[in-house]
Amino acid sequence: MCPTPFRSPIRVSEFFPYRGGELHAEEIAVSRIATAVGTPFYIYSAAAFAAQYRRFAEAFARERPLICYAVKANSNLAVLRVFAGLGAGADVVSEGELRRALAAGMPPQRILFSGVGKTPAELEAAIDAEIHQINIESVPELCRLSEIARVRGRVAPVAIRVNPDVDARTHAKISTGMKENKFGIDLGEVIAAYSLATELPGIEPVGLAVHIGSQLVDLEPYRRAFVRVAGLVRELRANGLAVTRIDLGGGLGIRYRAEDAPEPTSYARLVREIFGSAGLAMTFEPGRVLAGPAGLLVARVIYVKQGAAKRIVIVDAAMNDLIRPALYEAWHDIVPVRLPAADAFFAPADVVGPVCETTDTFAVDRDLPPVAEGDLVAFTAAGAYGAVMSSTYNSRPLVPEVLVAGTRFDVIRARPSYDDMLSLDTVPTWLSEVSPAPARKRGAA
C-alpha cells in the first residue's frame, strides 16, 4: 500500500484535546503523566465521566429514573465515587462489586444485583445489605432466594429478567437477549415465574427487567424487546399481578471506529413512546456509554520492525492490559501523543504487544503516521472494559490507573511491584524440603 498524506488534525474528544501539538487529558499533558507513572497506564477524565452521566440523565429528566451505573464496565473505587457524587446507583453482578459500590458511598437503596449465577453467599449479602432490587434470572434462583430470605426473616424485592429473544445486532460474544443465551427467563415462562414469586415466602415481585446486549448502535432491537416487555406488563396486570418497576438495562453503544452511536435523547424518545403511559418507575444500567469515552490507554513504542512485507510497531501495552481486540476483534483508534509534522505521511502498520501470543495484536494494517522507539501512543475509548478486564498473564504487572480533574492528577490504582506479585503465591512447606535434582553432567548416559 502507498502512504497517504497526513490528515490533521487528529482529534480524540473535547476532554482529550491537542494543545501545542501534544495530547492532553483535560488540562494536563499526557506525556507529563507518562514521565511520572511510567507506561503503560490508563488515564480517565473526571469531567468526561460527569458529562456522559449528565447527558444520559438529562435525556430522561421527565422520568427521573434510577440510573445504576454498571460497575463491571470500570470498577475502580475512585471512578465509582465520581458517579456516586453525581447521584448514580450501581448495577452489580458479584459480591465483590456490591462491596465496591458500598465502599464508594453508593446507597444500598440505589443498588441492584444482576447476573445469571448468583451464589447463596452473594444472595445473602444482597439481602443483608437491603439493596433496591435483585434481578432474578431463573426459577431455581428464585426458589433459592426465597429460602435464604425466609431463614433471615427478610423480604427481598425482585424483578424477573425477561429473555425477549431479540437479536441485538451486536457482537455475538456480548449479545444477551436471544433464547440461546444464558440470560433471563424465556418470554413464554415469565408469567408463571412472576406468579410463583407472589406465592413464595420472603419474595416481593416488583417488576420486570430486560437487557439484550452491549454496544448497540441501532435502536430497533431495543424497540422490539421493549414492545414485548410492555406486552408482558399488560398481561401480568390483567392477571391481577402488581407491576410497579421496569429495569430497561444498558447496552447503549459508543463510537470506537465509525459507528453512528445513538444519542441518549433518541433512546429516551423510544422509551417514552413505549412505556410513557405505563406508570412504571424506571431503572437503567448504563456502563460503557458513561465510562468508555472517558478513558485512554497510553503506551510507549518499544521497537519498530520494518520487514519486507510490513511495518510492525511493538508497544509496551499488551493483550493482558487491553484484551478487547484479542477477545472481540474490537477496534480502538490509536493516536500519537505528539502530533506528527504537517507533511508527514500515513502508512499501514501492525500494532502489537510483547506477550508471547500471536493474538496479542491491537491492529492490523492500520494507517499510522511515522512512529519511532520511545514515542507515546494512546488507545482511545478505553475507559470501559479495559483495566477492569486486565490480568497478569506472562507475569506482567497490572498497569496503573490515573484520574485527572482539571490541572491535577492522581494514581487511583498503583502498578504492583514484582515482589507484590510474588507475595501472592505460597510454596508448600513440603516443596521446600525437597532437594532439587542434581544437574546431569554433559555427555553422561
Just list the catalytic residues.
Answer: 356
Radius of gyration of the chain (CA): 25
Calpha distance 332→321 (Å, rounded): 13
For 281-297, letters b (16+ CB in 10 Å) and e give: ebbbbbbbbbbbbbbbb
Segment 218-224 long-range contacts (CB within 8 Å, at least 24 positions apart): 218/169, 218/262, 219/262, 219/266, 219/267, 219/270, 220/169, 221/166, 221/167, 221/168, 221/169, 221/177, 222/267, 222/270, 223/270, 223/274, 224/164, 224/166
Burial (0-12, 13-18, 19+ Cβ within 10 Å), 221: buried
Nearest to 383 by CA among 177, 37, 82, 38: 82
Instruction: Give the number of C-alpha atoms closer than 13 A to the C-alpha of residue 16, restricted to the C-beta side.
Output: 29
Nearest to 140 by CA among 156, 124, 114, 119: 119
Place of cell 448497540: 216
Peptide bond into 9 cis (omega under 30): yes
Distance of CA 232 to the CA centre of its chain: 29
All cell numbers assigned to 183: 440470560
Cβ neighbour number for residue 102 with a 10 Å cutoff: 18
All cell numbers assigned to 155: 423480604
